[in-house]
Amino acid sequence: MNDLDLLTAITVFVLSVLVGIEVISKVPATLHTPLMSGSNSVHGIVVVGAMLIAAESHTWLGYVLAFVAMVFGAMNVVGGYVVTDRMLEMFKARPAAEKKTSGTQEKAEV
Amino acid sequence: MDTVSNAVHYVFLGAAACFVIGLHLMNHPRTARRGNTLSAFAMAVAIGATVWLVADEGTISGTGWLVLGTGGLVGAALGLWAAREVRMTAMPQLVSLFNAVGGGAAALIAVNDLLQADDAAALGARVSVPGALDIVIGAVTFSGSLIAAGKLQGIVSGAPVVFPGARLLNVLLPASFVAGTVWLVLAPDSRTALYGLTAVALLFGVTMVLPIGGADMPVVIALLNAFTGSAVAMAGFVLDETALIIAGMLVSASGGILTKLMADAMNRSIANVVIGGFGTGDGAPAATGAGGAAQVRPVSADDVAIQLAYASKVVFVPGYGLAAAQAQHELGDLAKLLTAHGIDVSYAVHPVAGRMPGHMNVLLAEANVPYTQLKEMDEANPQFPQADVALVVGANDVTNPIARRPGNAISGMPILDVDKAKSVVVIKRSMGHGYAGIDNELYTDPKTGMFFTDAKKGLSELKAAVAEFVG
């Protein structure tokens, strides 16, 4: 692990919030659910922390905690990305299909 | 810092940049999926780099590798299974569950870190402050999200659960966890403080979410999402990992913004939601269209207006088509006109999340639809038989009676009993299919009139026509 001083860490913290607000406030309401699910998978980075504690654990209690943290973190990462992808896939397919149908319908009606 | 550690931190930096770009790509449906893929790729690389770092540092024991490997595999398998198997209707629960495990993992990291400390001096405020915060936020998120998921799943009552003494408990608990946090910060090596604080925080998560009603769940989930992000960022402080701080705060910002947006759109303050105690209606319907050769009965705006104007009870069924056409304001205006004329109007909102759990409520709330007119499916269904007209706007699969029969794509899916209304009008642009891609029997029902038009245009026409009838 690196020797991060507190001031740097706080700087990173504050800048991340600002970047987050900037980036996310541009996401349209229609994408809010995938956004939430997608950002959910980003916090799955916690699995990296779980791996680091697994590396430092040398007691049975430490191992148990690290194991549970690993399960949680890995579940968060894998599940989060897969489900977001599933959602976005459906989301992408819909409007195209609908346009096509309504297009033909309009022609037929005329 | 040795070379490997340096290299890994550059990888982390790159990953953090990809997370930002990935989230940025979410601002358009066309690029969103690419963004998610980029983010997932960055995550995979970061995890790979961590394995390298762990191996390089060499402090890990054989058991440690076993824990890391099996834990990772078990978690990944569970996550994959849940993500693949989850029905889109259960999306909010899953998001909530992932919030829970994320927050839980973050809290465990801090617990582990503090447990390894032999004396307070070795830790200092640099670790004890974020450590204590991590435990508090992480544990509250963990238990709170589980309760939220349980409510959405129907395991825990979706209605606000208020038990005697709850309010008192909700004052005592925060007070004791503030005290516990201070204690742990001052004495990070105290096991009593550590376990006590963890227990109190877990309990607080439960008592915080229990009294919140189903309709407020989207707000709660967004809020818990923000909490999880903060917990992960705190874990980043504890472990000295900038990647965790950046990723955590990105999520926290996103959760925070969504919380605010949802609360605003529902005309509720976040505090109001968290204090809880009311709200039951929730959900969002899906889809447009039916098709096929069966006979349908097309109707005009005037036909529909007459029916509406002489009805005493009208139930609106808003769906994907309404959301897609952004016609919620027109629907709200039509409802206001009818209400002013003494007609009982309600909205039957299906809990299906075609793409946006809770989105429909927000859309209707944005159009100033009174909260009380929004009916959850269980509440709305008994009302259909008394309804003179059920006006379906762009909802398809959620109104398809075929779901009651086995052997088709939507079998067993709970639906709105629109077909039980005395008469039904469906506003649709075409006979296109819904998500399930099957014909909707409702459309060929003799009592159903099909009003083929764009939802927005159609509702405006209806409003004008009704206004003429009711003067």
The pLDDT of residue B248 is above 80: yes
Instruction: Out of B27, B67, B430, name the one closest to residue A63 (CB).
Output: B67
Q: Which residue has the higher pLDDT, B440 or B170?
A: B440
Pair A106, B106: CB distance under 8 Å? no
Q: Which of B97-101, B143-147, B173-177, B227-231 has the lowest mean pLDDT?
A: B173-177
> Cα–Cα distance between A24 and A33 in angstroms, integer?
12
Of A56, A69, A82, the CB nearest to B59: A56
Residue B384: pLDDT over 70: yes
Q: In angstroms, what separates the C-alpha of A15 from chain B's closest C-alpha?
A: 8
Tell me the one-letter amino acid at B148: A
* pLDDT value of residue A79: 92
**Which stretch of A89-93, B74-78, B407-411 has the lowest confidence by average pLDDT?**
A89-93
Which pLDDT tens digit goes with each residue over B454-463?
888 888 998 8
What residues in A contact B51, CB-CB < 8 Å?
51
Average pLDDT over residues B204-213: 82
Angstrom distance (rounded) from CA B185 to CA B124: 8
User: Chain B partners of A35 at a C-beta cutoff of 8 Å?
Assistant: 23, 26, 254, 258
Q: Do B249 and A77 touch (CB under 8 A)?
A: no
Q: pLDDT higher for B36 or B413?
A: B36
Lowest mean pLDDT among A5-14, B109-118, B258-267, B402-411: B258-267
Confidence of residue B269 (pLDDT cuts 50, 70, 90): low
Q: In what order do the strands lie in the sheet with B389-393?
A: B374-376, B344-349, B313-318, B389-393, B424-428, B448-452
In the predicted structure, residue B81 carries a pLDDT above the cut 80: yes
Residue numbers of B annotated as active site: 397
pLDDT at B88 over 90: no
Where b means 16+ CB within 10 Å and e means fewer, A89-109 reads eebeebeeebeebbeebeeee
CA of A79, closest CA in chain B: separation in Å?
4
Closest-approach residue (CA) in chain B for A21: B253
Lowest mean pLDDT among A22-36, B27-41, B136-150, B364-378: B364-378
Chain-chain contact of B50 with A87 (C-beta, under 8 angstroms)? no
Cβ-based contacts of B428 with chain A (< 8 Å)? none
Inter-chain CB proximity B84 and A105 less than 8 Å: no
Distance from CA of B311 to the nearest CA of A (A): 31
Dist. CA B113–CA B183, nearest whole Å? 17
Q: Collect all residues of chain B within an 8 Å Cβ-Cβ radius of residue A63.
A: 63-64, 67
Would the CB atoms of B244 and A79 count as touching at under 8 Å? no
Is B328's pLDDT higher than 50? yes
**Over residues B362-384, mean pLDDT:** 70
- CB contacts < 8 Å between A and B, how many? 397
Contacts of B344 (CB under 8 A, 6+ apart): B312, B313, B314
* pLDDT value at residue A94: 32
Chain B hits for A92, Cβ within 8 Å: 29-30, 32-33
Flag whether pLDDT at B435 surpasses 50: no
Name which residue leads in pLDDT, B57 or B362.
B57
Tell me what pLDDT residue B326 has.
67
pLDDT at B389 exceeding the cut of 70 = yes
Residue type, B378: D
CB contact under 8 Å between B105 and A77, yes or no, is no
Pick from B304, B275, B260, B286: nearest CA to B208: B275
Give the minimum alpha-carbon distance from B20 to chain A in angstroms, rounded to a whole number: 7
Residue B187: pLDDT band (50, 70, 90) is confident
pTM for this entry: 0.67
Residue B239 to residue A1, Cβ atoms within 8 A: yes
Per-residue pLDDT tens digits for B116-141: 776 555 667 777 888 889 999 999 99
Average pLDDT over residues A55-67: 88
CA distances from A100 to A97, B296, B439 (A): 5, 21, 17
Q: What pLDDT, on a 0 to 100 scale, did the predictor assign at position A77?
A: 93
Amino acid B356: pLDDT: 40
Q: What is the pLDDT of residue B288?
A: 35
Owner of token pair 């402090």 = B59
- pLDDT score at B438: 72
**Selection from B5-9, B411-415, B466-470 with the highest mean pLDDT:** B5-9
ipTM rounded to 2 decimals? 0.82
pLDDT beyond 90 at A81: yes
Looking at the predicted structure, is the pLDDT value of residue B359 above 70?
A: no
Average pLDDT of the segment spanning B261-272: 63
- Give A-chain residues touching B237 at CB under 8 angstroms: 9, 13
Q: What is the radius of gyration, based on Cα positions, of chain A?
A: 22
Neighboring chain B residues of A110 at a CB cutoff of 8 Å? none
A46 → closest Cβ in B19, B53, B105: B105
Tell me what pLDDT residue B412 has: 65
Among B37, B61, B95, beta carbon nearest to A36: B95
- Nearest CA of chain A to the CA of B263: how many Å? 13
pLDDT at residue B87 in the model: 64
Q: Which residues in chain A are closer than 8 Å to B75, comparing Cβ atoms?
A: 47, 70-78
Q: Which residue has the tokens 């005290």?
A: B179
pLDDT value, residue B284: 31
Distance from CA of B50 to the nearest CA of A (A): 6
Nearest-by-Cβ selection for A39 from B86, B254, B452: B254
- Partner-chain residue, chosen from A57, A65, A79, that has the shortest CB–CB distance to B64: A57
Contact state of A13 with B249 under an 8 Å Cβ cutoff: yes
Q: Is B406 helix (H, G, I), strand (E, B) or coil?
A: coil
Better-predicted residue by pLDDT, B407 or B207: B207
pLDDT for B355 beyond 50: no
Give the mean pLDDT of chain B. Answer: 80
Least confident residue range of B2-11, B270-279, B305-314? B270-279
pLDDT for B216? 67
Look at A79 and B371; give whichever has higher pLDDT.
A79
The helix, strand and coil proportions of chain B, stated in percent and rounded to the nearest 5, come to 65, 5, 25
Mutate to test the interface with B, among A15, A18, A56, A72 (most CBs of B within 10 A): A72
Half-sphere exposure (Cβ direction) of B250: Cα atoms closer than 13 Å: 31
- Are A98 and B324 within 8 A, CB to CB? yes
Render B22-88 in DSSP notation, one character per residue: HHHHTTSHHHHHHHHHHHHHHHHHHHHHHHHHHHHH----HHHHHHHHHHHHHHHHHHHHHHHH--G
Band (B145; pLDDT cuts 50, 70, 90): very high
